[in-house]
Amino acid sequence: MTQPCVLVTGSTHGIGYGIAEAFARQGARLVINSHLPDNGALAKLQALAECHFIQADLSTAAGAVELVEKAHATLGRLDTLVNNAGTFLDTPFDELTEELFDRTFNLNVKAYVFASQAFVRKLAPGQEGASILLVGSTNSVMAERHSVAYDASKGAVLMMVRSLAVSLAGRGIRVNGIGPGIVETPLTKRGLDVPGVRKSLNAQIPFGRVGQPEDVGGAAVFLASPAAGYITGQMLFVDGGILAI
Ligand code: NAD
């Protein structure tokens, strides 16, 4: 089998990097992305596999489409798209503004839709084994205080997984979601480092610790692999047991 060609959005650090690294260890050909410079991620991944970096801001549909088209041109084909770039918003409801709401939805929802559409358009006629992954969250099904825009955006990801899966099944394209719990990344590190916070969160997680980006990578590799060939429309929560409580 040829090496799978994978695009991971928002992958210079955090969960996206963990996912990219897991694919690299499987010998995939990769494109990683950020709106900022690659921050050393490219060199680390190139030590493991073929990897390219494309800088693109996914806060507009045009940015998302351009990234997919450039990634396809770079690798010559695409087998898997991992929609991961996302943002968190922790704002009291009274202080939520249209600007903050739009920023959250543009990245967490709109970019996923239009990157996925561009990916589907780039598939060759009869191409087998294509799949799309969408990174949601335990917040796709579980609310958090002061997170209306974020929770709504991640709830939308859950229904996008199901809706795209149903829409694309006839073309043999699988669509699945990954729902991380609390994962230590640049997005969450500042909060986790507040005295007492990590200890209290660890105590609420059945596994007794917050997740690391590499905990999520294996789930992505599995869902994109032929071993998951009859799985579509599912959300795989990678949360150390939080949702089982
Ligand atoms: P992060 O902020 O650590 O990393 C996000 C990545 O996306 C970075 O590479 C960043 O450069 C990139 N990015 C940000 N804005 C972008 C833009 N406009 N265009 C292109 N790239 C952009 O975040 P993370 O914690 O790794 O989160 C990744 C995904 O996982 C997000 O969708 C997030 O909602 C989700 N998630 C995270 C957690 C957690 O605890 N960390 C939990 C559940 C879900």
**What is the reported pLDDT for 151?**
98
Domain count of the fold of the chain:
1
Range of the domain at 24: 5-244
**What is the reported pLDDT for 2?**
83
Question: Tell me, what's the ipTM?
Answer: 0.98
Ligand 1 binding pocket includes 85 (Cβ within 6 Å): yes
Taking the centre of ligand 1 as the mean of its atom positions, its distance from the CA of residue 126, in whole angstroms, is 33
* Percentage above 90 pLDDT, the chain: 99
The rounded distance, in Å, linking the Cα atoms of 35 and 32 is: 11
Q: Show the low-confidence residues of the chain (pLDDT under 50).
A: none
Nearest by Cα to 50 from 31, 76, 37: 31
pLDDT digits (tens, 9 = 90+) for 135-187: 999 999 999 999 999 999 999 999 999 999 999 999 999 999 999 999 999 99
CB burial of 30-56 (b: ≥16 within 10 Å; e: otherwise) equals bbbbbbeebeebbebbeebbbbbbbeb
pLDDT digits (tens, 9 = 90+) for 25-40: 999 999 999 999 999 9
What tokens does 150 get? 């974020």
CB atoms closer than 10 angstroms to residue 203: 8
In angstroms and rounded to an integer, the radius of gyration of the C-alpha atoms of the chain is 17
**What is the reported pLDDT for 121?**
98
Q: Which of 17, 112, 150, 230 is catalytic?
A: 150
User: 116: helix, coil or strand?
Assistant: helix
The rounded distance, in Å, linking the Cα atoms of 23 and 9 is: 13
Ligand 1 binding pocket includes 137 (Cβ within 6 Å): yes
The vertex-18 CA angle with 227 and 115, nearest 5°, equals 75
Say which CATH number the domain at 188 has.
Answer: 3.40.50.720
Examine the residue annotation and report whether 17 is marked as an active-site residue of this protein.
no
Contacts 24+ apart (CB under 8 A), 93-100: 93/146, 93/148, 96/148, 96/149, 100/149
**What is the reported pLDDT for 1?**
56
Ligand 1 binding pocket includes 107 (Cβ within 6 Å): yes
- What is the DSSP pairing of strand 174-180 with strand 235-238? parallel
